[in-house]
């Protein structure tokens, strides 16, 4: 009896030790869903049954959407179908996607295709005066600007000159672009028209999610708030994480809702300005580099495929066949943007980003961004000008103007019009050729 008691006692002790070790050790970094990600409705892929051949599926997966063979852990390809794991925490569950035996031609229509709300050929009767008549375009001016520019870390100031806020530069380009596109006959919708968030959700709502994010990473000594945007301990505070979740993550999710459920455009243009590392926003490092490039959806990193929501969203994007338009349109716009701005291409290989080159000239890249993944239509994500380049700063400080002006030693258009003109020319070229 005594022996039995001590045996049980030791067993309990071992169990308790294990419990505390497991509780205190950092958990695996990956949950099955990304922060704020929703459980995928896999049945939404049913509409893609028998719509793609094995060859096309595998080509898109390997040449565009993934970086290496690790995808095979989640997606297994057989001669007649693919088996897709629907839950990384329970690898027994899967979705079966049947391949079609012959190439599908359904998407070559001007009506809303069975693959999505967008149309591949929205322009029916070519009209030289209104070359974009019939085209429905959403313009998404990147970031928010205004009072949110510091929170979203898209703000810097050189000496006492007016601060540079990316969210305001993108809005200026977007408004000029909208007008120019309407003049060419397009139907244009701005995702935001002010320097205010689209989302109505407030950072307070994300207290628990933020706490969990720190817990999952085994981060201790988390503070409640931070002093100001330059507080070096900012990244250790719940407030910072709650703001990131609101103005970067939820904001894009709400923009996606607006685009997918209300605007339902044929294409979306996301407008951004690029930058080199600037360090302290009150005393930014300036760069002599200046370049442009265009991003389309693809190049998912192996660890991203572990998330159920990301894997589902990638497959939805792949199966809805936005890629062929994104690639051709993206490259056409990139070329005309390069001509209009005279900017060289960004070398992502040097920058060390997880991107895949989609053209030999380095102007077109594939990357998995929340926006180009969640917007369910062909999305062209534009990056032009390095914001912390002195020439670019001088041009931004000139503001918008019509015609030409001598700025930084050269006669030129306003930086905003140069950006917008590059896009308009590319769109006209693409739609008049296709």
d(CA 290, CA 300): 27
For 363-392, the DSSP string reads SEEEE--HHHHHS-S-EEEEEEEETTSHHH
Tokens, residue 346 = 């960004």
State in angstroms the smallest separation of the CB of 275 from Zn ion: 8
Which is closer to Zn ion, CB of 40 or CB of 142? 142
Q: Answer yes or no: are the C-beta atoms of 177 and 269 closer than 8 Å.
A: yes
Give the tokens for residue 295. Answer: 């991003």
Q: Which is nearer to Zn ion, 184 or 272 (CB)?
A: 272
94 and 45 in contact (C-beta within 8 Å)? Answer: no
Q: Kindly give the interhelix angle for 323-341 and 415-433, rounded to the nearest 10 degrees.
A: 140
Residue 142 lies near Zn ion (rule: CB under 5 A): yes
Q: How far is the CB of 175 from Zn ion (least distance, A)?
A: 17
Closest approach of Zn ion to the CB of residue 272, in Å: 3
**Is 77 or 386 the residue whose CB approaches Zn ion more closely?**
386
Q: CB 143 → Zn ion: shortest distance, Å? A: 6
Residue 145 is a binding residue for Zn ion (CB under 5 A): no
Phi, psi for residue 161 in degrees, rounded to 5 = -75, 160
Q: Does 367 engage in binding with Zn ion (CB under 5 A)?
A: no
Task: For the CB of residue 159, give the shortest distance to Zn ion in the complex, in Å.
Answer: 24
Shortest distance in whole angstroms from residue 253 CB to Zn ion: 17
Identify the burial level of 84 via C-beta atoms within 10 angstroms of its C-beta, where 0-12 means exposed, 13-18 middle and 19 or more buried.
buried
- The distance of closest approach from Cβ of residue 109 to Zn ion in the complex, given in angstroms and rounded to an integer, is 34
The residue among 143 and 321 lying less far from Zn ion, judged by its C-beta, is 143
Q: 272 vs 413, which CB is nearer to Zn ion?
A: 272
Per CB under 5 A, which region of 138-146, 212-220, 253-261, 358-366 contacts Zn ion?
Answer: 138-146
Contact track, Zn ion, 271-300, x by CB under 5 A: -x----------------------------
Residue 429's closest CA among 337, 341, 291? Answer: 337
Sites for Zn ion among residues 189-228 (CB under 5 A): none
- Of 419 and 430, CB closest to Zn ion: 419
- Comparing C-alpha atoms, which of 394, 429, 401, 403 is closest to residue 416? 401
Count of residues in contact with Zn ion, rule CB under 5 A: 2
**Under 8 Å between Cβ of 142 and 382:** no
CA dist., res. 42 & res. 93, Å (int):
11
373 lies in the binding site for Zn ion (CB under 5 A): no
Min dist CB 170 to Zn ion, Å, is 7
Question: By CB under 5 A, is residue 321 in contact with Zn ion?
Answer: no
By CB under 5 A, what part of segment 237-276 binds Zn ion? 272
Q: Residue 194 or 215: which CB sits closer to Zn ion?
A: 194
Do residues 268 and 259 lie in contact, with contact meaning Cβ atoms separated by under 8 Å?
Answer: yes
The secondary element (H helix, E strand) that includes residue 171 is helix 166-183
User: Is 170 or 260 the residue whose CB approaches Zn ion more closely?
Assistant: 170
Contact between 387 and 274 (Cβ < 8 Å): yes
* Residues near Zn ion (CB under 5 A): 142, 272
């Amino acid at each position: 009896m005594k022996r039995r008691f001590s045996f049980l006692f030791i067993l309990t002790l071992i169990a308790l030790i294990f419990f505390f070790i497991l509780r205190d050790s950092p958990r695996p970094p990956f949950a099955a869903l990304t922060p704020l990600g929703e459980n995928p409705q896999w049945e939404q892929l049913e509409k893609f049954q028998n719509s793609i051949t094995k060859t096309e599926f595998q080509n898109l997966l390997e040449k565009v959407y993934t970086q290496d063979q690790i995808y095979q852990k989640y997606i297994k390809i057989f001669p007649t179908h693919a088996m897709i794991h629907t839950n990384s925490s329970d690898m027994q569950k899967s979705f079966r996607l049947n391949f079609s035996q012959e190439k599908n031609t359904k998407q070559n229509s001007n009506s809303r295709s069975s693959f999505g709300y967008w149309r591949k050929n929205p322009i029916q009767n070519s009209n030289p005066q209104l070359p974009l008549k019939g085209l429905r375009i959403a313009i998404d001016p990147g970031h928010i600007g205004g009072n949110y520019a510091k929170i979203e870390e898209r703000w810097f100031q050189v000496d006492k000159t007016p601060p540079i806020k990316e969210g305001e530069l993108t809005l200026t380009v977007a408004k000029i672009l909208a007008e120019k596109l309407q003049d060419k006959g397009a139907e244009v919708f701005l995702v935001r028209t002010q320097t205010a968030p689209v989302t109505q959700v407030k950072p307070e709502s994300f207290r628990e999610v933020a706490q969990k994010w720190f817990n999952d990473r085994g981060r201790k000594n988390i503070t409640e708030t931070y002093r100001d945007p330059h507080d070096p301990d900012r990244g250790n505070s719940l407030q910072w994480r709650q703001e990131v979740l609101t103005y970067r993550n939820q904001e894009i999710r709400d923009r996606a809702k607006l685009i997918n459920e209300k605007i339902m455009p044929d294409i979306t243009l996301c407008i951004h300005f690029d930058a080199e590392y600037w360090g302290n926003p009150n005393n930014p490092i300036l760069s002599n580099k200046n370049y442009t490039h265009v991003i389309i959806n693809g190049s998912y990193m192996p660890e991203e495929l572990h998330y159920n929501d990301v894997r589902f969203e990638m497959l939805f994007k792949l199966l809805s066949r936005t890629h062929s338009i994104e690639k051709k349109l993206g490259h056409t716009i990139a070329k005309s943007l390069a001509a209009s701005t005279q900017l060289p291409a960004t070398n992502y290989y040097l920058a060390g980003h997880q991107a895949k080159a989609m053209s030999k000239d380095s102007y077109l890249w594939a990357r998995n961004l929340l926006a180009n993944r969640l917007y369910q239509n062909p999305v062209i994500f534009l990056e032009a000008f390095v914001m912390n380049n002195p020439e670019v700063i001088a041009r931004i400080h000139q503001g918008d103007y019509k015609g030409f002006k001598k700025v930084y030693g050269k006669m030129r258009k306003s930086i905003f019009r140069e950006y917008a003109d590059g896009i308009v020319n590319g769109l006209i070229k693409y739609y008049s050729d296709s």
